[in-house]
Each structure stands twice: as C-alpha cells, then as structure tokens.
Structure 1
C-alpha cells in the first residue's frame, strides 16, 4: 500500500482547509472515503479506499481465511456473547464475585438465591425468591413458594392422573386444566435446568 498522507481539500472556500484521506490502493488518486479492516486481529485498524477499490477489497477479503472449520465454529459461537466468558446460570461459584465492588450491597443476598432449587432447599420466610409468574404456576400445582422440586414432581403426578383427558372422557374443561398443569410443571422444572433431576 502507498504512503497515505492527508492533503488539503481543494474544493473548500472561505479560507477553510480540511484534510482528506487519499485511497490506500496503489496508484489511486481518489479520496479514501470508505474504510476496510486491515486484519481480524486488529479491529480498529483500517485501510481507506475509494468506492471501486473498497468493493474489490471486500470481495476478496475472507475474515476466516486462515481458520479451520472447528476454529470458525468456535469463533461464531463465542461471538454470540461478544467473545466474553459465560457460564450456565447457577453454576458460577459464589467465590467468583471476589474483586467486584458492591458499594450498594446488591449482591449480598446471592448466597440465599443459590439454594433455591436444591431438593432440600431451606425455607426462606418473608423473602420470596419467586416472581409473580412463578407463584401463579405454583398455585396451579396447588403449591406455595416453600415447595421443593420433589414437591413439584409429586403434585404434577397426582394432578395429571386426576385431569388426564382419557380419565375424564375427553371433557374440554378437564383438558384445559390438564394443559395448565403440564405448562406449570414445565415452567417450574425449567427454572431448575442447571441442577440434576
């Protein structure tokens, strides 16, 4: 690429001078108005081209040129989280909070939240960890917020036997209740997706 020094724009009047970028393509004297990345590893470093040359450059440039299929898949998967580390909800150890400033005490109660879906979760009187939708789904199963996952499973089994359409002669109201029960069960067990069944 040629040396790209800024030069004053000849079309300005009233004594104003503006530096313009010349096209980075060799032997081109047009203005470089369009930027193109120099490398995948240097995202803030650009070439500046005129319109025809940026089209040529973009047509021939392959972001994944030196990567194999596994590396490409890994890059694309990591790009979904902007290449930042992630972990499954509920699996990050509480010690991972070390070094984070918490001047307002926002993370003080996280230790109590972590045990929410264990089989023998301790009751937490006066402080619900469930949202309004969770509470509605628990009510459909005939349970309250003190229910463990074992309680949810037991209530589901009993209610399914009682409201199954085959048992109720395909009664429409029983079928609707059955669907609500199934949805409530799936809602509550999906909250436990990070734990073992």
Structure 2
C-alpha cells in the first residue's frame, strides 16, 4: 500500500480533540434553568409524542406532580381504562356483525378462493353426542376407555378390573386395594351420569 494514497488519508484511528463533535443537547426548559436538558418528560394528554427537555433535578420534580388523568371525571377515567384493555381498538359482540355471516356458504371478501377454483364446503356429519364433564372424562380414563365407549363396554371393563384387583380374586394381595377403590368410584360416577 502506498503511503500517499488518498484512501490512507481517510483512515483515522482517533480524531483530533477539536474535530470531535460535541453532542448537542437542548437546554433545560424549566424557567430560569440553563443546564442541559438531558431527560425527556411527556407534555401530557392530547400531546402524545411531544416532550419537554429537563435536567435531572427538574425532571424529578416534574414527574412527582405529573398526572395523565388530571381534569378527567371518574367516568372518563374508567372508560379510558376499559378501552385500554383492547388497546383502544373497536370491538364487536359475537354475532352482531351483520347479515353477511349468515349467508349460505363462505364469505370471501378478497377473492382468494376465486383464484384457486372456489371454496368446497365440507359438511360434518351431525352426531348426537352428550357433553362430557371433567369428572366423567377422568372416570373413563381410570377405566382405560375411550370417550365413545358404550354402556356394555363400560360394564365389561368394570367387571374385568374388579376381578383383577379384588383381594379375594388375586390370592389376598392387598396392594391393589387403592386401584380397586378408584375403579369402583369411576364406575359409580359414570353410572350416576347415565353412561351405563
């Protein structure tokens, strides 16, 4: 590399002191203060994104007396807090958007389906099923059965488990009594719920 290259002149490890740029900060906006305004403080409601520049002492004093909700009634503060839960975005109740949701088929406002040949509607077969509560679900798991088990399957499985875990049937082994109690309790739960 040549020493007198124009590229070599542009490389500087450390600029000279007089060439270092001093960071320009505004002066403190507190009346009568001439220090640097190193800290920002919000101007208030309806002036979002606007700030005062204060020194450290004055920003502390400003923050102690700052109240975003000053001048608002209690109802207005409550409404603001309620809207803050959704990020101040509008919301709708379920099913109140209008008649377009109740039309036959599917809605495609952007026409994506038209580009791909349209929607195909798949009908799920309607099967009558009862709502299964958590206790009933646990009882079926205790017996080792699926949610779709019939009454005959439940009775058969119960009889098999009782024969397996009853102390009279397994040679007097009392180590499975807890399991037997759980099986009996699960069967009674299912019987009371009308499964068998």
TM-score range, shorter chain: 0.3 to 0.5
Larger Rg: 2
TM-score, normalising length: structure 1: 0.47
TM-score, normalising length: structure 2: 0.47
Normalized per residue, which structure has more helix? 2
